[in-house]
Amino acid sequence: MERERADLTGAPATMLATLYGRALHSRSADPLLHDPYAEEAVRRIDHDFSKTGVRGNDPLSIALRGSLFDRLAADRIAAHPEVTVLHLGCGLDSRGLRLDLPPSVEWYDVDFPEVIDLRRKLYEQPERHHTIASSVTDPALLDSIPGDRRVLVVAEGLTMYLDPQEGLALLRRITERFPAGELICDVQGELAVRFANVLNSPVRAANAKLRWAIGSGAELVNAVPGLALDEELTFFEVPGLERLPASYRALVRAMGHIPALRRMALILRMHFDG
């Protein structure tokens, strides 16, 4: 079997930890998120995944978040089948392949050129699936994407790595280009960003840096005209937490009673109508 090199550094390299976590969880006896694409990708990539910093309960945590994003995206696509999906900072996430998409969906996977190059070597690209090799904050990104349909923007594990002003500019360009749409993303508050830059093993292993702290969906609503908040979930509300080991569940419950810790990480579902 031919193996592919993954010469990545900084934020793009963190996707290897996420990929490895999904693959490890998918191989478990009763996976919450079955991802054969991740399993195969890990087998084919020439990389020492033991150095990604993934350990302990990380695979389950990665699967919990990924499964929730899958469900939220599937729900919105079912409600609006004729939609353009922008999967921003897609990394090697196989979401567009995992979901049972109607043929009316136009799916765009967007990430840095070195990531997309590796992605194209590892994954099939079905009809109406597209890959764009670009920084998500490039002002020219949307030029090649038709803006005549509703859009669903999915950004898992992305916002915290963006420059705040560039991230807001990206959201404004999206709300200006498309007639209507929805955004599903996760964000981290100031405390979480500081913690991750010092203690998060995958972030440190990739020599990456988190830059954008977002404490609430209201911050984005106030900064991006037309954007409205539909749902704001904390990590403590993510389905499947009962799968965590008892000792870890106890720690999570204790953290959930401390407001500053409870809102360290949020998953936002938002919309805009042109």
The 3-state DSSP class for residue 72 equals: helix
Assess whether pLDDT exceeds 90 at residue 247. Answer: no
91 half-sphere exposure, CB direction, 13 A CA radius: 25
CATH number of 74's domain = 3.40.50.150
Q: Which residue, 146, 144, 145, 117, is CA-closest to 133?
A: 117
Number of structural domains the chain divides into = 1
Q: What is the rounded average pLDDT of the residues 215-244? A: 91
Domain housing 98: 4-273
Q: pLDDT grade, residue 5 (50/70/90)?
A: confident
Where does residue 151 rank: exposed (0-12), middle (13-18), buried (19+ CB within 10 A)? buried
Rounded CA separation 264/273 (Å):
29
Q: How far apart are CA 268 and CA 183, in angstroms?
A: 8
- Residue written as tokens 């945590």? 61
**pLDDT digit string (tens) for 172-183?**
999 999 999 999
Mean pLDDT for 16-36 is 95
Q: What angle do CA 225, 231, 233 make, to 5 degrees?
A: 125
pLDDT at 6 over 90: no
| Whole-number Å distance between alpha carbons of 180 and 114 | 31
Q: Is the pLDDT of residue 254 over 90?
A: no
| Cα-trace Rg, the chain | 18
Whether the pLDDT of residue 244 is over 80: the answer is no
The tens digit of pLDDT for each residue in 51-73 reads: 999 988 899 999 999 999 999 99
What's the pLDDT band for 1 if we cut at 50, 70, 90?
Answer: low
- Is the pTM of the predicted complex or chain greater than 0.75? yes
